[in-house]
Amino acid sequence: MIKCRLLLVVAFACAPQISAGQTQETQTAAAVPPDPTTVTIPDLSFKPSKRDAGRYDEYFYFHKSGVSYEKAFTDLQECAAYSQVFQFMLSPPHFVPLGSEPYKADQSQHYDNAFLQFGLIGVGILGFAMDILASYDERVNTRRCMGYKHYQRYGTSRAIWRQIDKGNVASQKIARLALIASGPVPAGEPVEP
């Protein structure tokens, strides 16, 4: 039993190192905006419930009068790039590759510690928590970045947001948001940036 546990400890300790070696850079080259005629967006109208209004920090899109689809796509992509690496409880680093692209985040220490203290359950919980924290971090960063670009933010429902955010192709999601951002002024009042 102990041998099995030791083997698992070593396996989990090595796993992040192996993946870190395979992918070293995380910033991707700027994508070309998809043809807007191929992009479909959901009907944005909805009757906000009290619950919807309490979740506008989580479900939202942007709009800026007079902005083109291409410009909105570039702005959204630029802002998204600031959240491509997420570091949990990072201590101030001794070295920063200023001038290069950011290195892939190394979270192996946290996973090692979680496994040593709580085993596989700890690793599972940590992975779940990391995903949630990374999402929150991305939302806060995007709001800050798009706010400085003078985009208005509009809250939406979870159901509509899921249609905007569907799929696994980042450029398609950004394209939907860019089409909304450059389209007609949304109904309702904007919320704080």
Partner 1 sequence: MKFRLFLTAFFLMPVAVFAQAEENFEKGAVPQISPDKAYFLIRTREPEDLPAGPLLVRALSPDELIGAMERHKKDPRYKEPPNTVLMDGSIPFAKTGDEKTLLVAAKPGIYILAAEAHVGSNFKDRGIMAVCLCLGTVRFEAKPGVITDMGTLLVARDDKPSPIPELASAVRGKFVDISAVTVVVALKPETDSMPVPESLANLPRVTADYRAQRAFPNYFGVPINRLIAIPGVLDYDDDGHVVDLKTTK
Task: Using CB under 8 A, list all residues that contact partner 1.
Answer: 2, 6, 9-10, 13, 17, 20-21, 24, 27, 57-58, 75, 81-87, 89-106, 109, 112, 116, 133, 136-137, 139-141, 143-145, 148-150, 192
CB burial of residue 173 (10 Å; 0-12, 13-18, 19+): middle
β strands within 48-173, DSSP E: 60-63, 152-155
The CA-atom distances, in angstroms, between 105 and each of 22, 26, 40, 94, 114 are 13, 9, 34, 15, 17
Nearer Cβ to partner 1 (2/32): 2
- Residue with Cβ nearer partner 1 (7 or 45): 7
CB of 151 to partner 1, least distance (A): 10
Give the separation between CA 182 and CA 193, rounded to whole angstroms: 17
Residue 41 or 81 with smaller CB distance to partner 1? 81
Q: How far is the CB of 180 from partner 1 (least distance, A)?
A: 19
Q: Least CB distance from residue 173 to partner 1, whole Å? A: 19
Alpha-carbon distances of 84 from 97, 109, 190, rounded to whole Å? 16, 20, 27
* Least distance from partner 1 to the Cβ atom of residue 83, Å: 7
